[in-house]
Amino acid sequence: MRFEDEMVVCEDTNGKEYVIQKKKIPEEATEGNVIKKGITGKYSMDTDEELLRKHRMEKMNEKEEYTAEKIQELIDELKQREIISKAEAESINIGKLQGYTKSDLWQELKNAKEIHKEKAFYINVKASRMYDISKENDENILVQGIIDLYYIDKDGKLVLVDYKTDYVEAGKENELVEKYKEQLYLYKDALEKALNRKVDRMWIYSLYLNESIVIEK
């Protein structure tokens, strides 16, 4: 997000911008932070997403084992380097991050041939793919974004992963699929164009459920 006088310009998970009043966000929020809207309509810091965005597991070596103590050391390091604030550090859910290190995805990454994180992309698409517009105005537009993670698994398959922190009830994982599948299809097209090869598998990784959810191609 970025500040413009008394307003805040935010970007949602689909890359669309919207504006809210500055007084509605947490006082400690600064440009570049991630906020989330609760069911009551109140905005708060999304520290789990902040941690993912700011180092997107880059400091977590998939070849190592992570205890709660080791994750705390990582958080302390980020705090000391002023990448996250004291308040953010104290509100990070260590259990969720530790759960990630015990997930099927983590196990795949431990055996992966290649791992690539936080890769920017640019792709030309029809405007109607992103917006509800008429055919007369359906021109090509340049879309940019960041792919959270892709890797080559032990069998040489190309796998695309997107992390999500949304609240979702167990058994209702399809809600995440319906909400984000078009975003994943866009990432898939961009990655296939960049690498000149097909994506073999696509996953959403839910930090809330500590679960990988398959996206059908």
What is the pTM (predicted TM-score) of this model?
A: 0.68
Q: Which is more confidently placed, 18 or 117?
A: 117
Measure the CA–CA gap between 211 and 217, rounded to whole angstroms: 19
Core vs surface per residue 41-54: b (16+ CB within 10 A) or e: eebebbbbbbbbbb
Q: Which of 200, 166, 158, 192 is nearest to 14 (CA)?
A: 166
pLDDT digits (tens, 9 = 90+) for 105-125: 999 999 999 999 888 888 877
Measure the CA–CA gap between 117 and 115, rounded to whole angstroms: 7
Mean pLDDT for 1-19 is 66
Q: Which of 15, 61, 49, 9 is nearest to 190 (CA)?
A: 15
The strand ranges marked E within 85-208 are 114-126, 140-152, 158-164, 201-206
Instruction: Using alpha carbons only, give the angle 189, 195, 199 rounded to the nearest 5 degrees.
Output: 50
Domains of the chain, by residue range, sit at: 1-45, 55-102, 110-215
Is 110-215 in CATH node 3.90.320.10? yes
**pLDDT given at position 30:** 65
**pLDDT given at position 139:** 76
pLDDT digits (tens, 9 = 90+) for 153-194: 999 999 999 988 788 888 889 888 998 898 899 899 999 999
Q: Which is more confidently placed, 137 or 87?
A: 87
Cα-to-chain-centroid distance, residue 161: 9
Q: Dihedral through CA 21, CA 27, CA 31, CA 32, nearest 10?
A: -100
pLDDT at 31 over 80: no
